[in-house]
Amino acid sequence: MRRFKCTIQYDGTDYSGYQVQPNGLTIQEVLEKTLERMHKHPVKVIGSGRTDARVHAQGQVIHFDTELAIAPASMVKALNTLLPDDIRVRDCKEVASDFEARYDVVGKEYRYFVRRTEDAFRRHQSVLIPYSLDVAQIRLGLAHLVGTHDFSSFCVAKTETDNRVRTIYEAELIEQGEELIFRFQGSGFLYNQIRIMVGTLLDVGRGRFTPEDIKRMLEAKDRNVAGVTAPPHGLYLWEVFYPESKKGI
């Protein structure tokens, strides 16, 4: 058996998230059914983590085992021939048998896209915010999120893990034409953390909160003090990071 590590991108619009579930079509389900067609038996796919319904990915990472005598580049071509157009394999590498797409992760980058004008072609890929935003105030608020903090105020109250301390290495707001792009890079993120941080920062941009309120929210460790959860379709899992030793053959 050989282990392959693939980097995939997908438009999450028509899916109920990444992970297999009883109600609704998921990315993992489509990947596993496609590999089953190739292998003539079930193939388990392990991802670096979940994404919710309507959330997209530019750099989700998966691994699976195969007995097929096929080169990684040929695996990319074969999968992209069989997969629907809204799921694409960008890269494939053979890795050691102990590689784990989920447990070997050392960091992730997410991006959240906001547009300030109507755009029929971006309606499922970015969130329309038609009101005025103070970008300078948002950037001041972002600065408070960088570093190691307890992010209890910025995750779902019933988050499974008790340890809600995470480290954000970089957080920035990029202006690109009529779009604003929130970029977060960190050791890991809690359930809905990015969407709650973005929803709160947008409220900072509207004047509902001050940048200093972000610091007070972190200290409060209470979901009720932070802002709304931003919609899912502006969010992208952009890149997943692994140790140099786990990057593949």
Q: How far apart are CA 163 and CA 194, in angstroms?
A: 17
Q: What are phi and psi of 184, to 5 degrees?
A: -125, 130
Phi-psi region of 76 (alpha: psi -120 to 50; beta: other; left: phi over 0): alpha
Question: 11, 14, 52, 119: which is the annotated catalytic residue?
Answer: 52
Q: Which amino acid is at 111?
A: R
**61 with 7: CB under 8 angstroms?**
yes
Residues 6+ apart with CB under 8 A from 93: 4, 5, 6, 72, 247, 248, 249
The conformation of residue 220, written as its DSSP 8-state character, comes to H
Residue type present at position 142: L
Assess whether 52 carries a catalytic annotation. Answer: yes
Query: Measuring CA to CA, how many Å separate 13 from each of 84, 131, 233?
Result: 13, 25, 7
Amino acid at 246: K
Matching residue, tokens 């960008």: 90
Dist. CA 152–CA 162, nearest whole Å: 9
Active site residues: 52
